[in-house]
Structures are given as structure tokens and as C-alpha cells.
């Protein structure tokens, strides 16, 4: 009996579900493969963006923590007014051990940034958007989110390619599952035979590494889809909260009818920041949004980061820019993390799960490795398909030759 006959009988013995899964796995993988490679590679680089930036790209912004008062928001406003006359502060980021990032407001000033020593107010670095310099990790993030294409085009391609990738992972598990569990099938399913041929090693890299990384790669992909696909994010929230719809963002505004304004804009910023800081004396960072005083509806936003390296336990405060009255908190991020519902906690943890920081450094290493494996799967899969395609052509030629003899 010929090998070709055995192969045909083996194929026909497979269930229809298996054959459909194989067909979907192949063609969905070919459709989304290149996008998956780019997204996974940029993702595994992004995981360590803080460490790489701190060590190599921007070491001068490392400022050792000191038990001293830090520069107040009003002082940041004065520094910006001096360096960029007529411009205003859009936001400021305080992170323990790092310089303060002060972003200028307005479209024309997008990308303008001052890095300021939090204890002395000294300008460490000034980034002017007119210099046309490209930040490496900003470039990486653009590739990860929308493939360096126009956002409206690239973003849907990334999102739906990620969805396709999740389907290929599921169909891949179907193909991985042995028809019968024997000693030999267990060895093939769980171990890479490094001493075998290059073709077999490539197959094992796709089959075995794909299985070991499947669950974590799927979680990383789906947490990305939570942000990228609105219907998916709402569906996950609805499921994890027992049928509650994802709350929208309230369009809060300051009291524009307030005639008595006891604080100057600079003084109001200092008081608002100090109130939040007093509630969280051990916080490791703050994000402050400065309102445009010309926009009477604008509010002051202070986000507190209690921990280093994660953002899920952050808590936000919103204040009227004139009266400093605290406005209603965000329905998800306004509460203390430990007191929030499971569904809200999971939503808040989404980004930290996506990049592995939820488990600290081991989690980041794990996210890096499985993202790298994720990038390899379309490559090893394509090599398997191409090898079978070439083998099929050579068999066809051989059959024609034999028929003509």
C-alpha cells in the first residue's frame, strides 16, 4: 500500500469538525499572519519600555527619590510660561524616581514636553515638536495600535486581525489534540525533538510552543480587543458584572454661573493636587490635567497612582476649577480598588494584564516571551504550509511522469 493511499485514508478518518478547523486555521492564519507578527513584535518590545527608556534612552530623567517637597503645579505653570510664553500646561505626570513630564496644551503644541526635576524645578530636557524628532517607543506604539497607517485605517485592521488570531488559536488547539493519547502522541504534543530534521523541528516549534503559550497569548489578545473593539469590551464587562452595561464617561463641567471665584487658576491647581495627595500620602505618582481657564466648563482632574509599575489601583478626583467642589467620581475608576466590584476590578486590571505588569517583573517577562512566540507562530505555520504545498506539487509531477511511461 502506498504512502499516498495511507495519507488519504488518514485524512478521510478525521471528523468534519477537524477538517473545518484545519481549513479555518490555514486560511485565517494566512490572512492575518503579517499583522499578527507586527503586533506581537511591537508588543513584546513595548512591555519593557519603562526599563529600556530609564536605562538607555532617557537616563538623565532618573531622579532618585528624596523625602522633600516636590514642585507644585503652580510652579510648573510658571516654568512653562517662562519657557513657552503665551502657552499653557495641558497635563503633568509625577512618578517617583523620575522627572516630572509636563505636556503643553493645544494641537499646535502637541508633543511639546518639559522634563523637570521634581525637587529643584530645573529643566532636565525640553522636547519641541518643531524638531521633528521621533520617539522610539511612540513609534513602536503606533505600529502596535495601527501599523503606522492612518488611524482610521490601521486600527480596525489590527483589531480584527487580533480577533482572527484568537480563532486560529482555538482551531490550533483542535489540530493539536491527538486522535488517540499514546506514549508517542504525548511526546509529539509536549516536547520538541531538537535532534530531528529542520522540518520536524519547525513543526514542533509551531505545535508545541503554540500549545504552551496558547492560554496566555489568548488573554493578551483579548485584553487588547477590550480597548480596540467596542462591542467586545462592552460584552466582556456585561458578562463579568452579571448583566450590567458598561457605564459611559460623564461629561462633567465646572459651574459656569459661579460669580465668586476665590482662587486664581494657579492656586486652585495647588489646592486640588494637595487634597488628593493628603488622601493618599504614600502614593507613587500623580497625573494632573490642567483646565483651560478660557473654557469655563473645564475641570481639574487629579489621578492618584498608589503603587509603582501598575495602574489598575489608580483613583481619580475631579474638581470644579472655580470653587474646587469635588464632582461625582468616575463609575469605574473613582472608587478604591479593593472596594470595587469584581467586574470593575477586572476592567481596571485590563491594561496591566495585557502587558503582564499585574504579576510584576515575572509577568512582564512572561508577556514578552509569549508575545515572541505569538510572532513566531505565523512564520512557522507558513513554513509548514509551504512545505506541504511544494510536496504536493512534486507528487503531482511524479504521478504525471509515471502515467506517461
Residue 103 to residue 118: CA distance in whole angstroms: 15
- CA nearest to 133, candidates 105, 113, 104, 155: 113
Look at residue 196 and tell me if it is in a domain. Answer: yes
Residues 149 and 41 in one domain: yes
How confident is residue 6, by pLDDT bands cut at 50, 70 and 90? Answer: very low
Look at residue 224 and tell me if it is in a domain. Answer: yes
Residues 274 and 375 in one domain: no
Per-residue confidence (pLDDT) for residue 262, from 0 to 100: 87
Residues 259 and 312 in one domain: yes
Look at residue 127 and tell me if it is in a domain. Answer: no
Residues 235 and 379 in one domain: yes
How confident is residue 30, by pLDDT bands cut at 50, 70 and 90? Answer: very high
Cell numbers 480598588 correspond to: 337
Query: Which residues have C-beta within 8 Å of that of residue 1, sequence separation ≥ 6?
Result: none
Q: Provide mean pLDDT across the span 107-128.
A: 85
Give the pLDDT confidence of 363-396 residue by residue, as tens digits: 999 999 999 999 999 999 999 999 988 776 666 6
Residues 370 and 228 in one domain: yes
DSSP string for 376-388: HHHHHHHHHHHHH
79 against 134, higher pLDDT:
79
Look at residue 75 and tell me if it is in a domain. Answer: yes
Give the pLDDT confidence of 207-238 residue by residue, as tens digits: 999 999 999 999 999 999 999 999 999 999 99
301 against 390, higher pLDDT:
301
Look at residue 163 and tell me if it is in a domain. Answer: yes
Look at residue 85 and tell me if it is in a domain. Answer: yes
Burial status of residue 258 (CB atoms within 10 A of its CB: 0-12, 13-18, 19 or more) = middle
Residues 153 and 231 in one domain: yes
Query: Which residues have C-beta within 8 Å of that of residue 191, sequence separation ≥ 6?
Result: 204, 208
How confident is residue 60, by pLDDT bands cut at 50, 70 and 90? Answer: very high
Cβ contact 381:169 at 8 Å: no
Residues 236 and 148 in one domain: yes
Residues 78 and 202 in one domain: no
Residues 288 and 241 in one domain: no
Give the pLDDT confidence of 144-192 residue by residue, as tens digits: 999 999 999 999 999 999 999 999 999 999 999 998 999 999 999 999 9
| Residue-wise burial string across 342-378, b where 16 or more C-beta atoms lie within 10 A, e elsewhere | ebbbbbbbbbbbbbbbbeeeebbebbbbbbbbbbbbb
Q: Provide mean pLDDT across the span 332-357.
A: 95
Q: Does 353 score more than 60 pLDDT?
A: yes
Look at residue 94 and tell me if it is in a domain. Answer: yes
* Residue 384: C-alpha distances to residues 113, 366, 381 (Å): 48, 26, 5
Q: Where among 309, 330, 351 does a domain terminate?
A: 330
Domains contained in the chain, number:
2
Look at residue 340 and tell me if it is in a domain. Answer: no
Per-residue confidence (pLDDT) for residue 405, from 0 to 100: 55
Residues 195 and 278 in one domain: no
Residues 285 and 395 in one domain: no
134 against 330, higher pLDDT:
330
The whole domain housing 369 covers 12-49+138-245+360-404
Highest averaged pLDDT of the listed ranges 14-23, 217-226, 243-252: 217-226
Q: Provide mean pLDDT across the span 65-80.
A: 96
Residues 110 and 154 in one domain: no
Per-residue confidence (pLDDT) for residue 133, from 0 to 100: 64
At CA 380, angle to CA 26 and CA 161, rounded to 5? 50
| Angle, helices 151-176/198-228, rounded to nearest 10 degrees | 130
Q: Provide mean pLDDT across the span 268-288.
A: 96
Per-residue confidence (pLDDT) for residue 61, from 0 to 100: 95
Query: Which residues have C-beta within 8 Å of that of residue 332, sequence separation ≥ 6?
Result: 247, 340, 344, 347, 348
Amino acid at each position: 500500500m502506498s504512502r499516498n493511499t495511507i495519507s488519504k485514508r488518514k485524512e478521510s478518518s478525521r471528523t468534519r469538525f477537524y477538517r473545518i478547523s484545519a481549513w479555518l486555521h490555514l486560511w485565517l492564519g494566512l490572512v492575518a499572519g503579517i499583522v499578527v507578527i507586527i503586533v506581537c513584535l511591537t508588543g513584546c518590545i513595548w512591555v519593557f519600555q519603562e526599563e529600556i527608556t530609564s536605562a538607555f534612552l532617557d537616563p538623565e530623567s532618573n531622579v532618585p527619590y528624596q523625602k522633600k517637597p516636590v514642585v507644585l503645579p503652580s510652579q510648573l505653570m510658571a516654568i512653562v510660561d517662562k519657557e513657552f510664553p503665551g502657552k499653557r500646561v495641558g497635563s503633568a505626570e509625577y512618578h517617583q524616581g523620575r522627572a516630572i513630564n509636563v505636556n503643553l496644551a493645544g494641537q499646535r503644541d502637541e508633543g511639546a514636553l518639559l522634563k523637570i526635576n521634581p525637587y529643584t524645578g530645573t529643566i532636565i530636557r525640553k522636547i519641541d515638536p518643531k524638531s521633528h524628532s521621533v520617539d522610539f517607543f511612540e513609534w513602536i506604539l503606533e505600529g502596535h495600535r495601527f501599523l503606522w497607517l492612518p488611524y482610521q485605517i490601521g486600527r480596525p485592521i489590527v483589531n480584527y486581525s487580533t480577533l482572527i488570531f484568537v480563532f486560529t488559536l482555538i482551531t490550533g488547539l483542535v489540530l493539536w489534540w491527538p486522535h488517540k493519547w499514546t506514549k508517542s502522541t504525548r511526546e509529539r504534543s509536549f516536547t520538541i525533538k531538537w535532534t530531528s530534521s529542520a522540518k520536524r523541528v519547525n513543526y514542533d516549534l509551531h505545535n508545541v510552543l503554540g500549545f504552551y503559550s496558547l492560554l496566555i497569548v489568548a488573554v493578551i489578545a483579548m485584553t487588547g480587543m477590550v480597548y480596540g473593539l467596542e462591542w467586545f469590551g462592552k460584552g466582556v464587562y456585561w458578562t463579568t458584572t452579571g448583566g450590567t452595561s458598561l457605564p459611559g464617561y460623564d461629561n462633567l463641567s465646572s459651574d459656569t454661573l459661579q460669580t465668586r471665584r476665590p482662587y486664581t487658576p494657579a492656586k486652585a491647581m495647588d489646592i486640588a493636587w494637595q487634597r488628593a495627595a493628603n488622601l493618599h500620602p504614600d502614593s507613587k505618582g500623580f497625573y494632573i490635567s490642567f483646565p483651560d481657564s478660557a473654557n469655563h466648563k473645564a475641570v481639574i482632574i487629579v489621578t492618584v497612582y498608589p503603587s509603582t509599575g501598575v495602574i489598575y489601583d489608580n483613583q481619580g478626583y475631579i474638581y470644579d476649577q472655580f470653587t474646587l467642589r469635588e464632582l461625582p467620581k468616575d463609575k469605574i475608576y473613582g472608587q478604591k480598588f479593593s472596594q470595587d466590584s469584581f467586574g470593575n476590578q477586572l476592567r481596571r486590571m485590563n491594561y496591566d494584564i495585557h502587558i503582564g505588569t499585574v504579576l510584576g517583573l515575572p509577568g512582564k517577562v512572561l508577556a514578552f516571551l509569549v508575545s515572541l512566540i505569538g510572532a513566531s507562530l505565523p512564520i512557522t505555520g507558513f513554513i509548514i504550509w509551504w512545505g506541504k504545498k511544494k510536496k504536493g506539487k512534486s507528487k503531482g509531477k511524479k504521478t504525471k511522469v509515471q502515467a506517461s511511461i
